[in-house]
Amino acid sequence: MSVEVTLIILSALVIFSYLFDLIAKQFKIPSVILLLLSGIGLRYLAGWLEIPIPNFEPILPLVGTIGLILIVLEGALELKLEREKSNLIKSSLSSAFFILILTTTGIALFYFYVLDADFKTCFLNAVPLGIISSAIAIPSAATLPVGRKDFIVYESSLSDIFGIILFNFMLANETIGFNSFLRLGWQTILILVLSAAFCLVLLYLLKRITHHLKFFLIIAVLILVYAIGKYYHLPTLVIVLAFGLFLNNLHWIRNTWFKRTFKYDNFYKDLHQLVQLSGESAFIVRTFFFLIFGFTLNVQSLLNLDVLLYGSGVVVIIYIIRIAYQKLFVRTASLAEFFLSPRGLISILLFFSIPESQKLKGVENSLLFFVILATSLIMTFGLVSAKEKQIPNSNPNTDSAKA
Q: Return the pLDDT at 387.
A: 52
Give the CATH number, domain containing residue 249.
1.20.1530.20
Please indicate, yes or no, if residue 226 is contained in any of the structural domains. yes
* Highest averaged pLDDT of the listed ranges 50-59, 63-72, 311-320, 323-332: 311-320
Identity of the residue numbered 233: H
* Whole-angstrom distance, CA of residue 197 vs CA of residue 63: 27
Residue 48 within a domain: yes
Structural domain that includes position 240: 3-398
| DSSP secondary structure string for all residues of 108-154 | HHHHHHHH---HHHHHHHHHHHHS--HHHHHHHGGGS-HHHHHHHHH
Say if CB 131 and CB 330 are below 8 A apart: no
Of 397 and 116, the one with more pLDDT: 116
Tell me if 235 sits within 8 A of 186, measured CB to CB: no
Residue 403 lies in a domain: no
Residue 102 lies in a domain: yes
Q: What's the mean pLDDT in 137-162?
A: 82
Q: Tens of pLDDT along 345-385?
A: 888 888 888 888 888 887 777 888 889 888 988 888 877 77
Query: Angle CA(105)–CA(111)–CA(116) in degrees, nearest 5?
Result: 125
**Quick check: is 384 in a domain?**
yes
pTM: 0.79
Mean pLDDT of 39-67: 81
Could you say which DSSP state residue 26 is in? H
Residue 399 has pLDDT above 50, yes or no: no
Instruction: Let me know if residue 78 belongs to a domain.
Output: yes
In a domain, 340, yes or no: yes
pLDDT per position as a tens digit, 230-258: 787 777 778 888 888 888 888 788 778 88
Above 70 in pLDDT, residue 261?
yes
Q: How confident is the model at residue 388 (pLDDT cuts 50, 70, 90)?
A: very low
For the ranges 24-28, 221-225, 270-274, the lowest mean pLDDT is seen at: 24-28
Q: Cα–Cα distance between 142 and 152 in angstroms, integer?
A: 10
The model's confidence at residue 314, banded by pLDDT at 50, 70 and 90, is very high
- Number of structural domains, the chain? 1
3-state DSSP helix/strand/coil % of the chain, to nearest 5: 80, 0, 20
Distances (CA, A) of 122 to 104, 107, 127, 374: 9, 8, 9, 21
Is pLDDT above 70 for 390?
no
Please enumerate in sequence order all residues whose Cβ is within 8 A of that of 284, keeping only pairs 6 or more positions apart, or say none.
14
pLDDT tens-digit map of 167-201: 888 887 777 777 877 887 887 888 888 888 888 88
Stretch 84-96: mean pLDDT:
85
Q: How many other β-carbons are positioned within 10 Å of the β-carbon of residue 220?
A: 10
Report, as an integer, the average pLDDT of 43-62.
79
Cα within 13 Å of Cα(49), Cβ side: 10
Distance CA 149, CA 394 (A): 11
Cα atoms found within 13 Å of the Cα of residue 170, Cβ hemisphere only: 24
Does 122 map to a domain?
Answer: yes
Asked whether residue 125 carries a pLDDT value surpassing 80, the answer given is: yes
Q: What digits encode the pLDDT tens for the residues 281-304?
A: 888 888 888 888 888 877 777 778
What is the CB neighbour count within 10 angstroms for residue 108? 23
Is pLDDT above 90 for 100? yes
Average pLDDT rounded to a whole number, residues 379-403: 55
